[in-house]
Structure 1
Amino acid sequence: MMRPLFLSLLLACASPGFSQDAPPPAANQAEEIEFSANLLTYDENADLVTATGDVILTRDGTRLTADRVRWERKTGLVEADGRVLIVDPSGNRVVGDRIALTDSLKDGFVSNILLVLEDGSRLAAVDGVRKDEVTTLNRAVYSPCAVVDANGCPLRPVWQIKALRIVHDPARGLVSYQKARLEMFGIPLVALPGLSHPDNFDRNRSGLLGPDVRFNRFLGAEVSLPYFISFAPNRDLTLTPFLYTGVNPVLGASYRHLFDAGPIEIGGRITWARGQTLAPDGVSLLDTANRIRGNLDIKGQLNHGDGWRSTFSSRLATDDNFLGRYQISYDDRLRSTWNLEHFGGQSYLSVQGWAFQGLRATDRADTTPLALPLVDFRWRLPLQPLGGALMLHVNSLNIHRAAGQDMTRALASLQWDRSWLSTAGQRLTLTALVRGDVYNTRNGELADLPLYAGENGWKARAIPLVAADIEWPLAGALWGGTQTLTPHIQFVASRAGVNSGIPNEDARAIDLEDINLFSLNRFPGFDRWEGGARITYGATWTWNAPGLAASAQLGQSYRFSSEGNLYPDGTGLSNRFSDLVGRFNIRIGRWVELSQRVRIDNENLAIRRNETDVTFGTRSTYATVGYFKYNRNINLEDLRDHEELRLGGRLPVGRFWAVYGAIIVDLTSRADDPLTVNDGFQPIRHRVGVTYLDDCLEFGLSWRRDYVSNINIRRGNSFLFTLSLKNLGI
């Protein structure tokens, strides 16, 4: 980091007190200066002190070395020449052929100067002058890049800034440039009028940050110019004007504040522009009148002490397609949430609120739910009846819609668990649970689907459950490694028929998977309960050897009684024998990793769900393949079938360059989903680019193409150029 360079240069330190013929120095000089040289002489007639040969002066932590130092006591001029090197307490180094100072040690001149800063950055100049602690370098150049290669041979800096004059003002903590120009790879690129930056490159100092340059068909050329404002070490504001050639400019802002309790960040963008809405044909877009458009993002976390913490996050937009139109986000639903938590030694309390903003053309604000409050309390009781553990669980939820089904729920459960480990290694766990729910439904006839509707008024239900779970790990040697086979059997019995008249708000996305196969209730949430008696069975196999690993899990369940239409077709649970679910993983060193999750139809062995991800290579050189297909024949809109392929990769080219690319292809056809408009091969988007990265420079150029259009995304090309110069914020 840059510091005052001449640093009260200790050269008055050339104390003649070390010469036998010299007059004694002042006491304060002798106390402040450490001095050594091969030869020290004093000319009494000229009042001149001369030190030669490996001269070393040290004062206040600053060290000067030179071949020769001369001090003219009459004029107060101190001169050093021959391999002059000054090192200040911060580690900054000044190298020059000749340096001249007044005996005030504050003003001076250096010729052919090189400054090596603490972080390795270099400032070189033909000469430099320091007056009133302000240093001026003439015909100077700055660069943090390496100037020698790995073999010690000279190397042209990747980039440098040449200036007619560079001024360092330590009182202001600023380095400023006059008539500066940026050069990259030896090629002059652009003038930098008015360039300045903090002398210690403090990330909390105000100043202009690096611009981003983009281009796409609908916004035109885009340049963003962020300006960072530091109010204090814990508070700052970044203002970013976004300038476009195709649309009106946008102003962005991001405010950050680190309180003693935790961080808060508030950001957003605003503009005056036309919006877009979906035409009556449901396909084309219509422009609206000019109006204020923008978005707001708020997030933070505050610790209140004594185990209390609040976390909050809010995302809002003025209209459906502002975020997509300006390529800020392609999310089609924004969530705002607040959560107050308390962490006790054996308890946990959460009080939450949730609000949503739908951005799809079919979303209606009056049917979007507001969940407030959502209360969840869990307490592991200190009692241990029959040697087991007791857990008390209380939950409450209120959901309101302006024109839809409203619901209030309260429930409490008490669960007892005890585990045994036999001498043969089997692990047996017994569970008993009792739960009571109370619901109040309003406007049930306005539910999204009849399947989700509840009966208006009050409803209550009692749910008892007992379960037994047995696991038996078996280990042994295999192919130079160790394998473990763990059979797993679970029996669950609970009251059936407890869902009649109960609204379904949080248990809609039911789908049998490997992660919920052995759950006591395989519905997400609380509104639906899987009753009756069932047995679940499966096995997990793992194998580990040096540089190799593999694992597999497969399981299924059988329900002894039928619960009618509780489980929608295609969820894997609609028959007494469930579908088979499994997970498979293979790892070969650090080069290959495969993960697959499947669900197999129990009647015809058709693959109902297939999620496969494969990664080849290392962190710097890799290829990825992702594929998933849902073939469940589900008619519910939020569980529609889909097929997708994802490809990506990165390849270094030489030491500093790399190319990368990624593509997403929608393989869904009308045979998979009658509502789709795709033909079975529809690219969604692709991105390709090139990057350069070394110790002082990073830049990249990428091309993105979107192949589909909707209210948030427009078909077309986008180009992005990024540039980052070390220490300049650019």
Structure 2
Amino acid sequence: MAFALPTGSLGQPISTGAGITPSPQLGAQSESGEHGDTAPAKPAADRNVDFEADEVDYSDDDNLVTAKGNVFLRRGDRTMRADSVVWNRDTGDIVANGNIRAVDADGNEMFTGSMKVDQDMTVGFTTNMLLLLREGGRLAADKGEKQADGTVLLTRVSYTGCDVVNSKGCATTPSWRINARRVIYDQKHKLVKFKAARLVVFGVPLVPLPTAIIATDGRAITGPLIPDLRSTASNGFELSEAEYIRLADDKDVTVKGYVFSKVDPMLQVNYRQLTDLGAFQLTGYVTRSPVVSATGTTIGNGQDQLRGYIDANGKFQLSPEWSVTFSGRLASDRTFLQRYYINNDDLLRSTINVEHIDKNSYFSLSGWAFQTLRTDELQGSVPIALPVLDYRRRIADPWLGGQFEIEANTLAITRTAGQDTQRAFTSAQYSLRRTTPWGQQFTFTGLARADAYHSSDNSLTATSIYQGLPGWQTRGVVLGAVDMTWPLVGAAFGGTQVITPHVQVVAAPSTPNLSIPNEDSRAIELEDDNLFALNRFPGYDRIEDGTRITYGLEWKLDVPRWSINANIGQSYRMTSKPTLLPDGTGLSGRMSDIVGRTEIRYRDLFKITHRYRLDKDTMGFRRNEIDAAVGSNKTYFEVGYVKLNRHFDPTIEDLQDSTELRAAARVAFARYLSIFGSGILDIDDKTVVNGQTLDKYQPLRTRLGFSYNSDCLEIDLTWRKDYVTIGDVAKGSSFELHFSLKNIGFR
């Protein structure tokens, strides 16, 4: 049976019998044009309380309606289920009893045995209640009673964000809870305010919480965050505490203070805002402390200096095609970020980029600036690239089915104490693919490009092959290539294998590369990734000319649970003319070195990747890189080994040799507990950090920690050791305690 209960008194009594007839709506207009007792403040559908029940009784004496058996009430987005409900038509109050489950407009659920609600279905009185918040929290109270201001006073309250039953449905003790004598439940503003509360972790009462507020609709609210503790060799004992301030639904700010035992305090501010077009955020740090250069020299006679760091980024989508992206980073000095454990970056990039992207074209107008934090690099030699313009368009070939791509690019590079370079080029590339009846796939490519360069102060570039000639230089580039692959598919080892021979021929006339400044094509080395590239130089400033043939083989095997992917290849130059490629790149001779990659995977439990470059004469490793991972997300072991033995000319930058071992592991036990660790080990004695040559087998950094991570609580205790002193970043051990409560207004 179903009928509607208006929020005020009825004009007509409800009828009884086999069917229950809905009563007239309060305030509905009569035929004579007169209204009911109360003027309508809301649409009638919103003011009515609709409900269903197995049985309904009506009492004329006390004007009560009693519903029994599977009672269901709804008013707008609020619902309630109970064994029985008594509705007082005079007062509008509803008293429910037995197995009550009430759901508010935000999806929060309340369970209790007895509850009184008003005509808006907001709580007036309840006992032994349990409130399940949609965001995951649970609040239990002995009693709740509505106050004069409309709030509900809850007594003897306990709140937790943890599950109170395990996976088998058995009761379990939550990792943490907040106990309070009194709690104000503000249903109108959707807030739960704790009074005289205390945080209990693993059954042990800890810090008191004079003011703790939770939003029942899951939104962030203003309030303090949980502090962090740390101890470092540079700053001593550290305590940090943050205050979150919600300025509006679309903006907030977090202010965080740091107190140290060895140095002055530090302030951090983070501002975030969401707009109709996008979002942005700004983070800043500021403090005062003595500054020591990377070489150990004290700056400013040891007096405190103003130090800090700014990081801003954002993106705005102006239309489906147009967007603006920006990022800016600036530090006061080269050791600030490491000194205060913000990050270990050695180069800060700032950029702004205006982009237009559609189905067949791409446009970008951007600018880049860099701040070096490297101890052996002068800031004046670091480039500023402004403007950088790039435009590309694809045009379908209506005759043969190929595709044209045209590109225009220009940039200007400026240095305050180095070489300045300006570049512009236009290019056109045509590609055509064909498949033979036997399955061979041919790709024909033609490229034509015209370049113009202007440079000055070329002698300030230390590496001569990068300088180019000063003044105006021009270059024309023509390139043609034929690429053939032949995938051969068949059954093998109970699975499927694909063997793909790959042959490529590329031809380009001699190009005056050395007269052109080299800004973006410096880090050249033969790898499996660029073996079949049309131009194996990165960037645009160098072109690999001459005629070469490249050949290789790829093998893929997929069997139940296992997969293998391997490739190997080499190239041969058809000309004996000297090449500008330096020794050690694997490309300096007519016959190149051999490069390849092998990847073996077993489901998601094991993966090993081996990348290598073999000397064409001795078959010795010039590059030997192994990365392996075994385990699951909870328990795993990862190891990485890289040995670069390329014998580059030491006067060439960016391409030095090294040997390094990296390892990381995490072992989970007892459901929520785990230990973790990681380390970086220098195996040879060639690595140089801050002008110091590291000893053989010297660690660079190690880390070891213990973690408790459940559905509602995270505790991490981490030990870290740095083995090299850089300026005022002292080597030594540091300890950090991180504590986080989940499903609560705290971090």
Note the C-alpha offset of 1:502.
1.5
Worse-superposed segment, 375-384 or 717-726? 375-384
CA distance in 1, matches of 2:544, 2:449: 13
Matching of residue 177 in structure 1 with residue 194 in structure 2: yes
Matching residue of 1:452? 466
Q: Please, which moves more after superposition, 297-306 or 102-111?
A: 102-111
> Secondary structure of 2:533's match?
coil
Residue pairs, 1:555-570, within 5 angstroms: 555-564=569-578, 566-570=580-584
Which AA in structure 2 matches 1:609?
Answer: R
Amino acid at match of 1:708: V
Q: Which amino acid aligns with 1:639?
A: L
- Kindly indicate whether residue 153 of structure 2 is the aligned counterpart of residue 139 of structure 1: no
- Confirm whether residue 339 of structure 1 aligns to residue 357 of structure 2: no
Equivalent position of 2:416 in the other structure: 402
Query: Which position in structure 2 is the counterpart of 1:270?
Result: 286
Determine if contact 1:10/1:105 at 8 Å carries over to the other structure. Answer: no
* Aligned residue identity for 1:588: Y
Residues 399/700 of structure 1: CA separation in 2 closer, same or farther (3 Å cut): same
Partner of 1:296: 310
Please, which runs of 5 or more residues in structure 1 have no aligned partner? 1-7
Give distance in 2, aligned partners of 1:546 and 1:723: 43
2: distance between equivalents of 1:18 and 1:726?
52
Asked if 1:124 corresponds to 2:132, the answer is no
Matches within 5 A, 1:272-671: 272-278=288-294, 282=295, 288-305=302-319, 307-383=321-397, 388-564=402-578, 566-634=580-648, 635=650, 636-670=652-686
DSSP 3-state at the match of 1:638: coil
- Tell me what 1:716 maps to: 732
> Aligned-pair distance for 1:645?
0.7
Equivalent pair of 1:670/1:676 in contact (CA under 8 Å): no
Shift of 1:246: 2.5
Contact 2:108 2:132 in 1 (8 A): yes
Distance, in Å, in 1 between the alignment partners of 2:434 and 2:425 is: 30
C-alpha deviation, 1:722, in angstroms: 2.0
Distance change >3 Å, CA 385–CA 289, structure 1 → 2: farther
Of stretches 712-721 and 565-574 in structure 1, the one that deviates more from structure 2 is 712-721
Residues 275-301 of structure 1: CA distance to partner in whole angstroms, max 9, x if unpaired?
2214xxx45666743232111112122
Moved more, 401-410 or 191-200: 191-200
Q: Distance in 1 between matches of 2:503 and 2:67?
A: 89
Residues 64-94 of structure 1 show CA distances to partners (whole Å, capped at 9, x for unaligned) of 6356859798x99976666565554555444
Are positions 1:695 and 2:719 aligned together?
Answer: no
What is the aligned partner in structure 2 of residue 243 from structure 1? Answer: 259
Match of 2:225 in 1: 209
State the match for 1:58 in structure 2. 73
Cα 1:10–1:36 shift into 2, 3 Å? farther
The answer on whether the counterparts of 1:320 and 1:712 sit within 8 Å (CA) in structure 2 is no
RMSD: 3.4
Structure 1: how far apart are the matches of 2:100 and 2:425? 81
The aligned amino acid for 2:425 is: L
Identity percentage over the alignment? 39
Cα contact 2:8–2:92 (8 A) shared by 1:
no
* Residues in 1 aligned to 2:526 and 2:728: alpha-carbon distance in whole angstroms: 32
Contact kept in structure 2, 1:16 and 1:41, CA below 8 Å: no
Q: 1:112 to 1:437 in 2, by over 3 A?
A: closer
> Secondary structure at 1:451's aligned position in 2?
helix
- Contact 2:8 2:89 (8 Å CA) reproduced: no
Shift of 1:240: 1.8
Q: TM-score, normalised by structure 1?
A: 0.89
| Aligned equivalents of 2:426, 2:131: Cα separation in 1 | 71
Letter in 2 for 1:457: G
Mean CA deviation greater in 437-446 or 231-240:
231-240
> What is the rounded CA distance, in whole Å, between the counterparts of 2:49 and 2:514 in structure 1?
91
Contact 2:663 2:679 in 1 (8 A): yes
- Whole-Å separation in 1 of the counterparts to 2:531 and 2:119: 84
For 2:541 and 2:107, locate their aligned partners in 1 and report how far apart those are by CA, in whole Å.
Answer: 66
Q: Residue 380 of structure 2: SS of its match in structure 1?
A: helix
- The residue type equivalent to 1:699 in the other structure is I
Q: Which SS does the other structure have where 1:225 is aligned?
A: strand
How far is 1:120 from its partner? 5.5
TM-score by length of 2: 0.87
**Given that residues 650 and 660 in structure 1 are in contact (C-alpha distance below 8 angstroms), is that contact kept between their aligned partners in structure 2?**
yes
Change (3 A) 1:33 1:234: closer
Amino acid at match of 2:218: F
**Structure 2 gap ranges (5+):** 27-46
CA 1:41–1:577 in structure 2 vs 1: closer, same or farther (change >3 Å)?
closer
